[in-house]
Amino acid sequence: MSEYVDWPNGHDEPVGLTVLLPGRNYPATMPLLTFAGRAAVQHGWHVRAVSWDAPDLDTEATVEWVGTQLAEAVGDFEGRVLVVGKSLGTCGAAYAAARDYEAIWLTPLLHLPQVVQAMSDNTNRQMLIGGTDDPAWNPDAARSTGGTITQIDDADHGMFTDDAVRSAEIHVEVTREISRWLGNT
């Protein structure tokens, strides 16, 4: 079962609902999701952060489970939906594609054909962000989705390097790219 936290945003009429889907060991309080959520608020979105204790399942069951968590987070909201998924959260791509949701995929699991296919099937705009030192990142698969791609040299699955300052710079760079993308709606 998942839990949700709605972030205060100060907008009387938000652009839509942003759902933050975490990774297995990467909650919405970690930098990539926190900064993506703050950028969404800045651009007028209502943000709902999901937290979960993800079960260990095979790929097909994981895709279904994450899709169910996304469905429950969206609930009966009617309007524009933006999904921001990190790692395991990117398994929500099939549900997002079926409902034509906009999406930002952070360190997507591009080694899973089901995830790549779902992202390719989404006709709405998407952004994929990954690092060259992340074993789950595949630049060819990313390009095949038709989404906007941001690739960070030497970044791992958490968007970190061995250099603390460079890691902080990467998070600033990623946040700028997300904010720019959100501003182009």
Domains within the chain, CATH numbers bracketed: 3-183 (3.40.50.1820)
Rounded Cα–Cα distance for residues 142 and 156 (Å): 16
- Beta-bridge mates of residue 106: 86, 129
The residue behind tokens 């998924």 is 85
Classified as helix, coil or strand, 162 is coil
The residue behind tokens 């709606």 is 185
Backbone angles phi, psi at 7, to 5 degrees: -85, 140
Question: For the segment 17-26, what is each residue's pLDDT rounded down to a tens digit?
Answer: 999 999 999 9
Question: For the segment 9-43, what is each residue's pLDDT rounded down to a tens digit?
Answer: 887 889 999 999 999 999 999 999 999 999 999 99
Both tokens of residue 10?
């100060």
User: 33: burial class by Cβ within 10 Å (0-12, 13-18, 19+)?
Assistant: buried
Q: Which candidate, 113, 2, 126, places its Cα nearest to that of 52? A: 2
Rounded Cα–Cα distance for residues 54 and 139 (Å): 27
Question: For the segment 60-95, what is each residue's pLDDT rounded down to a tens digit?
Answer: 999 999 999 999 999 999 999 999 999 999 999 999
Question: For the segment 119-144, what is each residue's pLDDT rounded down to a tens digit?
Answer: 999 999 999 999 999 999 999 999 99
